Structure 1
Amino acid sequence: MYGLTKTEILSLAYTLAEKNKIKHPFSSKREKAGIEWLKGFRKRHPDITLRAPESTSAARARAFNKPVVDKFFSILKDTQAKHSFPPYRIFNVDETSLCTVPTKNTKVFAQTGRKQVARVTSAERGDTTTAVVCGSATGNFIPPMFIAYFLQAMPRNYIRKTTRQNWSETSMQSALDAVKDGMAFKTASRQFSVPLMALKRRTKGKNKLAMGAVKVLGSKQTVFTTEQEAELVKHIKDMEIRMYGLTKTEILSLAYQLAEKNKIKHPFSSKREKAGIEWLKGFRKRHPDITLRAPESTSAARARAFNKPVVDKFFRF
């Protein structure tokens, strides 16, 4: 697994000729054989060819060798002789990597003299997805499995198949008033088009909206009120102005602490003591005036010296 490149073969041919004191037309300045010699050499030896090698880890190279492979097939042969597995129960599994951005660019035609030719892709650096394919000896295949790089922030582009929470808060309040006036739960649920179980929970005082919290048709209610979120946004902006911008993790922890301190019912993780990534997505959508940026490192001395009063004084001079 240490294949020689064209350049290495040309250098090797020159070294071989020099060491054996063979008269040759090779370049003494470059210390390499010529490309014409390589063409003739390949024609005389068609059993060698130029290939693009596949990157293989050292651990895999050590494990994947003839003795190990022979041992595997020996065990497989004994196991098959012992159990006589039918072909439809013998499966072969393999994996391959797929990249969202091509790793190799095919040459394209462009204007002569242009210094740089660009090509639009989904991104400059792609994300690798692993595809696992499995088939039996009889030709039956199970659906392929794709292993994406997502761990917590899975894409939310699926289509909802249910009508869960597809009701307005006004309809729920009307149904609650009707139940208090003596209407049956089922009748109120049908008449005002609200879920029966949700209506019963609301009657018992469960799942109440926080005063001032927002509930949009077909979406989840917000945890905090409009005023509370405005205070949180103000704090985030103030910290950024002071050059102590909050990270995603810090904001998630801050949201959890805010809910706990104000005794607000929330779906956040008590174990991790953080709000969820879905809450953060909704929070950012509701407040497009804040965004996620990569900060530039600034020394404390420069931060103290470079401020509005100092800059204003400079321009007055």
Structure 2
Amino acid sequence: MYSLVDGEALLKKLGDRFSGLRGRLTPNMGMEKVTWFRAGGPAEVMFQPADEEDLSAFLKAVPDEYPILTVGIGSNLLVRDAGIRGFVVRLSAKGFGEVERVGDMQLRAGAATPDKRVAAAALEAGIAGFHFYHGIPGGIGGALRMNAGANGVETRERVVEVRALDRKGDVHILSNADMGYGYRHSGAANDLIFTSALFEGAPGDRGDIQSAMDAVQQHRETVQPIREKTGGSTFKNPEGSSAWKEIDKAGGRGLMIGGAQMSPMHCNFMINTGTASAHDLETLGETIRSRVLQNSGIKLHWEIKRLGLFRPGHEVHEFMGQLL
């Protein structure tokens, strides 16, 4: 059974398996530098590939017994305090951050491209239907994996096909149907690493597209704590209601545990007020889930992805509520 070891020792143990790679291998990479929460433990080894070919070579070199996780720009990610064992892949902006027009109404974007950049490219090309990305603080890889959406539009409505690598480094092309999209969910295999995607919109007037993007931005600035250390929406909306409404009814607005707080502005946004540990943040989230369940009988489901290991004796369990 593989257990957590020091990243430098891990690289030494694997010897020259990674010789020839052009990307960057960083042992004991502090994930608090990556996630927007600015909290959490280290990745044992982080790899930032130079391009898809380099990523494929890396995947072929890692023995099967070592776990590999992929992270995006860290906007909706909570890494637990003991960190992530094995390898974490983070696609570089240089190798995977480009967006280009490839047809009259089509764009191809790398998985590390910020959503906002895709919205801007669509505006420049006069392609409508991408204004919603202007308000999503994430990258295309995460949008593909989670079927990110806002303002009544979802990623699945724009995806034509997705390019990905499997655990063995082989290339796969997935159609929209292959992605198995649902609400904030993709049915694509968990071990697939998305590298790029082809999107399609519709003809649009640049003035109208800009107005739609401005409306998205104004809404975000008015109702969301966008200047805080936050991961965006904490929980998915339950059927027939909104997560923030259920949190508010359960007394969760402004609730604090340690340095973690449910935003007084938008109570489905969890924020690090400056000193929160990952344990504080996850405990607050589970406390909120417990309160909502007790108040309305609704089980909220996390939208934020939580990865990694708990510190021994500091585990957080589902619906674990503190008496506050």
Judging by fraction of residues, say which structure has more strand. 2
TM-score where L is the length of structure 2: 0.19
RCO higher in 1 or 2 (8 Å CA, sep ≥ 6)? Answer: 2
Give the greater-gyration-radius structure (CA): 1
